[in-house]
Amino acid sequence: MGNHSDGSPSHSGTVATAGQNEVEKFQDPGLPPHRLRLADTDPRAAKRAERQVAILFGASIVGTFIFLVAYFAIDLGDSSIATIRTQNLLLGLGTAFAMLGIGTGIVHWAKALMPDHEVSEERHAIRHEEDRQAAVRIVDDIVEETGIKRRPLIRNTLIGAIALAPLPAVAIFGDLGPRPDDKLAHTMWAPQDGKLKRLTRDPDGTPIKASDVTIGSAFHVIPEGLNELHEGKLNEKAKAVVLLMRLNPESLNPSPGREDWGYNGIVAYSKICTHVGCPVALYEQQTHHLLCPCHQSTFDLTQECKVIFGPASRPLPQLPIAVDAEGYLVATSDFKEPVGPSYWERDQHERQINS
Amino acid sequence: MSAKSTAEAPFVAKTKVGRVTDFVDSRVGGSPILREFGRKVFPDHWSFMFGEVALYSFIILLLSGTFLTFFFDPSMAETHYQGSYTPLYNVEMSVAYSSSLNISFDIRGGLFMRQVHHWAALLFVASLGVHMLRVFFTGAFRRPREMNWVVGGVLLILAMAAGFTGYSLPDDLLSGNGLRIIDGVIKSIPVIGTYTSFFLFGGEFPGTAIIGRLYVLHILLVPALILLMIVIHLFMVVIHKHTQYPGPGRNDGNVVGYPLGPVYAAKAGGFFFIVFGVIAIMAAAFTINPIWNYGPYDPSPVSAGTQPDWYIGFVDGALRLMPGVVNGFHFEYVIFGYTLTLNVLLPALVPAGIIFTVLFMYPWIERWITKDDREHHVLDRPRNAPTRTAIGVAGFTWYCVMWAAAGSDLIATHFHVSLNDVTYWLRALFFLGPVIAFVVTKRVALALQRKDREIALHGRETGRIVRLPHGEFIEVHAPLDEYKRYKLVGFESPSVLPAVPNEHGIVTRKEKRRAALSKWFFEDRVAPATPAELEAAHGHAHHEAIETAEQKSLSH
C-alpha cells in the first residue's frame, strides 16, 4: 500500500502533498447565520406550538388517570393471567402516556418556542501554571513538615504496617464458607450401611424396575432417599442426578473393568455436564447422543459418553448399576470419579477414590 | 459586607422563583454555582443522547428497584407456594422465588415494576455500550478525557455486575442454571477456584446463602459504586466541558451549543420523561423474564434454548465456541497432580480480558503511536480516522461473533441448519471476522473520505442532466456553500510519523515499533481538499462548461 493521500486515483498527481501546509487550509467561516423558525416569525405558528405543548401535557394528565383507574378499578381477586396482563398493560400505558406527555411536551416547547440561538463559549485551560506551582510548593512544604524524608525508620515501619493492615480484612471473610475438603468427590449414591441405593424416578422418587426400562427409553433418576432429606437436598441433587437409558447391548462397548457397570444394556450416567455443570437433559434416541442444552457439549453413549462435540473435555461419569433381589435397579457403588465441572483438586480426588 | 450592601439599594428579586432562589442563596452562597452553570453551553447532537439514556435508565432502576425491595425476600428457605398463580400452587420452592411470584401476581403493579426494572436494566447496559462506541469512534477519549473513558469502562463492568446479580435473585430455573455455569467457571480457576466457589455459595452449590449475598451486592454495594462512578464521570464532564462535532465556528478553543437554561435543561429534562415513557411502553407490552414459566430452581431439569441476559451473552458464547477436545488433545489436563480446566478457563477469561484491557488502554496506545498529546475538544468524524474506526469495528465484530454464538442453538433451530455447522462457522469467524471487518471498514472509511473530497471540490450532484450545445450530456453539480464545505474539509489528517532518535542519537527498538505502527495507522490517508484544489477544480474547462450551462439554464 503506497501513499494514498490523493483523493482518487485520477487525481493523484495534483494532490499528493495536499493539505500538508497550514496556509493551504480552508479558513473557518465561523458560525453559519441563524435561521429563524416559523414560530419566531409567525405569531400564529407560535400560538399553534403553544397549543400543541398544552395538548401533550394534557395527554400526560389523561395517562395518570388511566394508571389510577387501572390500579384501583381492576380487582386481582380472581387473579387470572388475563386480568394481570390487562392491568399490566393499562398501568404501563398510563405511565407511558403520563411520562411521554410531559417529555415530548417539554422538548417540543424547548425546540419550538425557547430561544434557539447557538452560543459560543470560550474553553478555559484545565489548570493554570500559577496554580500548579503554588500546589507543588504546598505539597513540598507538607512533605517537608512531616519530616518523612529525614526519618526513614518512621517511613519504613509505616509502609510495613499499612501493607499488613488489610490482611485481617481479608481473613475475616474466612467463614463465608466451609473448607471444600473432599465434599465434591462423593455423592448420595455411596451404599449406606451396606445397603445399595435404588435408582428412583425424578422427581417423585419411585424405584425403577429393570423390566420397566425398555430399549430406547430414558429415565431421569435421583437416588433413593433424596426426597426425604431435610437439609441440603438441592446440594445432594446437584451432584447425584443421573440419566438412565437402555440400548441394544451390542451397541455398548464397555472398556475393561466396566463390563459389569450396566445391566442388559441399561446404563446410568451422571446428568451433570463435565463442562460447567448444566444438566445434560437431551437424549437423542436414534444416535445415542446426549446433548447439553447450555453449551451443546455432545456425548456418545456407545463410547461410554465420550465427548464428540462441544466445549466439554471429559466423558460423563458412569454410575455402576445392578439389579437387586426384587428386580429394582440399584447402584453398586458411588461414582468412581467426581461428577460435574472440573476443579483444581479433581484429579487428586479421583486417585483417592480409586485407591 | 453587610454595611456595603445596605448602603446600596438592596437586591429585590422580580419573580417568585427568583425570591426563593435569593432566600437560599443568601444562606448558602449558591450564586457562583448558578452563575457558572445557569448558562453553561452544551453542544447538541443526537449521538450525545446515549449517555443520557444510560443515566436516566439508572435513575429508573433506582426508583423501580426500591419498590421491589419492599416486597422481595431473598431467603432460600424452603416453602410451599400459596399465592394465586395456580399452576405452581403448593409447589416446593425457595422463599425468594415465592416472593418474586407474589410481586408478579399478588402485588398490584408489581409485575409492571418488575418488567420496568428488567427492561431498564437491559437498556442501561445497552445504552452504556452504545455510548462508549460513540465515544470511541469519534475519538472523544483523547486528552484530556482519558480518565473519564476509564471511568466509563468501569461503569460498564459494574453495570454488567449489577445486571447479573439481579438476574439471579428470583431463584428461578433459568437464573439458577446461570449460577450453575458461574459456579463451573469459578471452579476452573487454578489453585483457589474450589475455595472461591465454596466461599461464594457458603458451601456446595447451590447451598442456601447465595441469593442473600447477591442481594446485598445487588442493592447496596454495586449501585453505590455505580453512583460514585457516575458522580465522578459527570464531574469530569463539567470540568472538561462537552466535546463537539466539527463544523464551521467550532474549534478546540470554544464550545458551541445551547445554554443550559432554559433550552438544554428543558431538552435534557424532558428526555428523562421520554426514556421513562419508552421503558413503560416496553414493560406494558413486552413480557420480560416470565419466571412463572420456568419454575423454581432444581438442579435436574433445564429447558432447551436457555439464554442469559444479552450483556452476558458474549462470555456464554465464548464458552460455547471453545472446543473441549481438538485432535485428541484434551484441554482439560492434569499438571503436577492437579486439574487445569483450560476449556473453561480460556474462553471465560481471555476474550473478556482482551476486550477490557484494550478498551482501558486504548487512549494511551493511540497517544503513544500518534505522539499526539494535544487537547482535543472537537470530535473526529469516524471516516476521518479510518484506522481507529477499523479497529473499533473489528473489536465490535469479535464481540458480536461471540454474542451470536450464545444463540447458536436458536440460530440452528430457526434457520433449520445443523447446530454443529453453526458452531464451526462461528469458530472460523471468531478468528476471521475481526480481520475482514478491519479491512472492509478501513476501505469504506477511505472511500467516504474520497466522496467528501469529491463533494467539497465539485459540489453536490443535483440529478439534473443538461445537454450542451455540442451534444454532450452532463450532470449539473451544485457548489456547496462555505459552511457545508468547511464541514467536509475542516479536519486534521495526520501522516506517518517516522522513527526519531532519542537524545543519545539512538533509534530504540520501541521507537521502531512505534514508527511501524504509525505507518500502519496513517499510511493510507485521504488529505482534506485545499482552497488551491478548489480553485483548480473550478478552473477546469469541464466545470466552466457546467457553469455556463448552469447560467444558460437559469436564464431560460
Give the pLDDT confidence of B376-414 residue by residue, as tens digits: 999 999 999 999 999 999 999 999 999 999 999 999 999
Shortest CA gap B12–chain A (Å): 26
Contact A279 B305 (CB under 8 A): no
Q: Residue A132 has what pLDDT?
A: 92
Question: Does pLDDT of B56 surpass 70?
Answer: yes
Domain spans in chain B, listed from the N-terminal domain onward: 2-32, 41-298, 445-555
Segment B412-440 shows an average pLDDT of 96
The pLDDT, as a whole number, for residue B555 is: 43
Q: How confident is the model at residue A7 (pLDDT cuts 50, 70, 90)?
A: very low
- Please give the C-alpha separations between residue B538 and each of A5, A23, B464, in angstroms, as whole numbers: 21, 20, 19
In this model, does residue A23 exceed pLDDT 60? no
| Residues of A with Cβ-Cβ distance to B239 under 8 angstroms | 126
Say if residue B28's pLDDT is above 60. yes
Note the pLDDT of residue A109.
95
For residue B8, pLDDT over 80 is answered with no
Spatial separation of the C-alpha atoms in residues B170 and B110, rounded to whole Å:
14
Q: Is the pLDDT of residue B308 over 50?
A: yes
Summarize the confidence of residues A114-127 as an average pLDDT.
Answer: 87
Identify the three-state secondary structure at position B255: strand
pLDDT at A125: 86
How confident is the model at residue B328, as a pLDDT? 86
Residue B530 has its nearest CB partner, among A25, A105, A177, at A25
pLDDT digits (tens, 9 = 90+) for A218-252: 999 999 999 998 888 999 999 999 999 999 988 88
Q: Which of A32, A105, A238 is closest, CB to CB, to B299? A: A238
Between A71, A297, A346, which is nearest B324 by CB?
A: A297
Q: Is the pLDDT of residue B375 over 90?
A: yes
Could you give the percent of chain A with pLDDT greater than 70?
93
Contacts of A178 in chain B (CB under 8 A): 198, 202-203
Grid cell 499488613 is found at A164
Distance CA B426, CA B429 (A): 5
Contact B298 A179 (CB under 8 A): no
**A166-194: per-residue pLDDT in tens?**
999 999 998 999 999 999 999 999 998 88
Contact A71 B347 (CB under 8 A): no
Q: CA of B386 to nearest chain A CA: how many angstroms apart?
A: 13
Q: State the pLDDT at residue B277.
A: 97
pLDDT in tens, B463-516: 899 999 999 998 888 988 889 999 999 898 888 999 989 888 899 999 999 999
Rounded-to-integer distance, Cα B253 and Cα B64, Å: 42
- Give residue B391's Cα distance to chain centre: 16
Q: How far apart are CA B225 and CA A109, in angstroms?
A: 36
Averaged pLDDT, B359-367: 96
Minimal C-alpha gap between A124 and chain B (Å): 8
Nearest-Cα residue of chain B relative to residue A21: B530
**pLDDT tens digits for range A72-86:** 998 777 667 888 899
Closest CB to B255: pick one of A93, A98, A123.
A123
Query: pLDDT band for position B1 (50/70/90)?
Result: very low
Asked if B298 and A220 come within 8 Å (Cβ–Cβ), the reply is: no
Q: Using the predicted structure, report yes or no on whether residue A10 has a pLDDT greater than 70.
A: no
Cα-Cα-Cα-Cα torsion A307, A311, A313, A315, nearest 10 degrees, comes to -40
What average pLDDT score do residues B442-449 get? 96
What's residue B18's pLDDT?
A: 87
Give residue-wise pLDDT tens across range B188-207: 999 999 999 999 999 999 99
How far does A298 lie from chain B, in Å, by closest CA?
A: 10
Question: How much of chain B, in percent, has pLDDT values that exceed 90?
Answer: 74
Interface size A-B, in CB pairs within 8 Å, comes to 385
Q: Which of B41-45, B72-76, B251-255 has the highest mean pLDDT?
A: B72-76
- Closest partner residue to B184 (CB to CB) among A118, A277, A293 is A277
With a CB cutoff of 8 Å and minimum separation 6, the contacts of B96 are B72, B73, B74, B75, B76, B169, B170, B171, B211
Longest dimension (CA), chain A: 101
Say what the pLDDT of residue B3 is: 46
Residue A279, preceding peptide bond in cis (omega within 30° of 0): no
- CA B176 to chain A, closest CA, distance in angstroms equals 10
Report the residue from A32, A84, A293 with minimal CB separation from B248: A32
Q: Which residue of B has its CA nearest to A68?
A: B109
Q: Of all helices (H) and strands (E), which one includes residue B336?
A: none
The yes or no reply on domain B41-298 and CATH 3.40.1350.10 is: no
Nearest-neighbour CA in chain A from B228: distance (Å) = 22
Of the pLDDT bands very low, low, confident and very high (cuts 50, 70, 90), residue B556 is very low
Q: At residue A3, does pLDDT exceed 70?
A: no
Q: For B486, which of A18, A29, A100 is closest by C-beta distance? A: A29
Q: How confident is the model at residue B36 (pLDDT cuts 50, 70, 90)?
A: confident
Alpha-carbon gap, residue A198 to A226, rounded angstroms: 11
Q: What confidence tier does B22 reach under pLDDT thresholds 50, 70, 90?
A: confident
Cβ contact A309–B297 (<8 Å) = no
Residues in chain B closer than 8 A to A281 (CB atoms): 300-302, 304
Are A28 and B248 in contact (CB < 8 Å)? yes
Q: Using pLDDT thresholds of 50, 70 and 90, give the confidence band for residue A6.
A: very low
Q: What is the DSSP string of B387-417?
A: HHHHHHHHHHHHHHHHHHHTTHHHHHHHHT-
- Look at B298 and A203 and tell me if their CB atoms are within 8 Å: yes
Q: B30 pLDDT exceeds 90?
A: no
Interchain CB distance below 8 Å, B526 and A4: yes
Residues A11, A18: Cα–Cα separation, whole Å: 11
Virtual CA dihedral for B515, B520, B522, B525, nearest 10 degrees?
150
- The yes-or-no verdict on residue A15 having pLDDT over 80 is no
Q: How near does any CA of chain A get to the CA of B138, in Å?
A: 20
